[in-house]
Structure 1
Amino acid sequence: MTQESSRTPPVQDQAAPVSGEGAQAFTRAQVEELFLNAAREGDADLLTRFLAAGMDPNLRAEKGYTPLILATYNGHAQAAAVLLAHGAQPDLQDEKGATALAGVAFKGDVALARQLLDAGASVDVPNAVGRTPLMFAVMFGREPMARLLLEAGASPTLRDGEGLSAVDLAQRQGNTALAQDIRHAAQG
């Protein structure tokens, strides 16, 4: 078996791996795990091969993570581009309600946030406790991210499950300049 062919394994639907003469087969679960690992590690070439072989770009992993959530959270723009080009939905949520944009807002990766927004990601999808990407950016001091999200139309007036808005969170963080910018965005 060549190196390249071993990176895109044949799929078996059976519960246990099956091997034939000179061929290595993987279970569906093993193939899915290899696909998700390729997203997590940012291996765009391998992702392309998996997707060409029919893998679902919106596959759900443990905790509801999608390949796009895994790729973007780990800072892999090229892998994200491959997934988006093959139909990955940017607003899918994990089991806690987080989207890919929420993850990059938390991390402060402005370039990936722009990529997701350009691909149609909704700017205000709240997680299970009502926190939006803007709120995550504010909570973790990601000022350039917060400003990008505001420019993209993020609502500065939404409130989380505790009743706090992005302004409240900025004030809690002692970031009066950002709180002021968010207030200005709310006014107009």
Structure 2
Amino acid sequence: MTGPSADVAELAGRMFDLARRGDTDTLAAYVDAGMPVDLTNGSGDTLLMLAAYHGHAPTVRALTARGAHVDRLNDRGQAPLAGAVFKGEDDVVAALLEAGADPLGGHPTAVDTARVFGRDDLLALLAPPE
């Protein structure tokens, strides 16, 4: 594939790589220049999902500060918060909660994930008061 659509696909691929690597400054500059903050790959993963799953709290904070949808689910119904709990990325969990992420969003939810992995410390942050 050549031409404009190949260029766009290559640029999008680079954006997803930046999110996975946690290259906060470069990714933020692209978003500030007009790259959609909720850019989504073929699996429904947003830049925020990739940054969260790979443990990059500063990148998560930069994206949420620029309006990234914190509860957007991927094609498997997974939320960034549950992914961060699954990976044990406590700093990312804190960043997502600060940005208003819903602990009961997606399947499994972040609360369910914390229960499965015995993360009582996170449950105290995630579980709604009864």
Deviation track 1:59-85 (CA, whole Å, cap 9, x = no partner) reads 111211000000011110111111111
Residue 105 of structure 2 aligns with which residue?
125
Structure 2 matches for 1:20-31, cutoff 5 A? 27-31=7-11
Q: Which has the higher contact order (CA 8 A, sep 6+)?
A: 2
Question: Which one of the candidate residues 5, 11, 21 is aligned to 1:15?
Answer: 5
TM-score (norm 2): 0.90
Gaps of 5+ in 2: none
Quick check: which one's strand share is greater?
1
Residue 6 of structure 1 aligns with which residue?
none
Q: Quick check: 1:109–1:145 contact (8 Å CA) kept in 2?
A: no
Structure 2 matches for 1:167-178, cutoff 5 A? none
Question: Which one of the candidate residues 47, 54, 57 is aligned to 1:67?
Answer: 47
Output the aligned Cα RMSD: 1.7
Structure 1's consecutive aligned runs of 4 or more residues displaced over 3 angstroms after TM superposition are: none
Deviation track 1:94-132 (CA, whole Å, cap 9, x = no partner) reads 0111111010111222222121111111121132xxx21
Residue 148 of structure 1 aligns with which residue?
125
Aligned length: 129
Quick check: which one's helix share is greater?
2
Gaps of 5+ in 1: 1-12, 17-26, 154-184
Deviation track 1:15-39 (CA, whole Å, cap 9, x = no partner) reads 34xxxxxxxxxx0111111111101
Distance 2:106 2:18 in 1: 27
Residue 53 of structure 1 aligns with which residue?
33
Identical positions, percent:
35
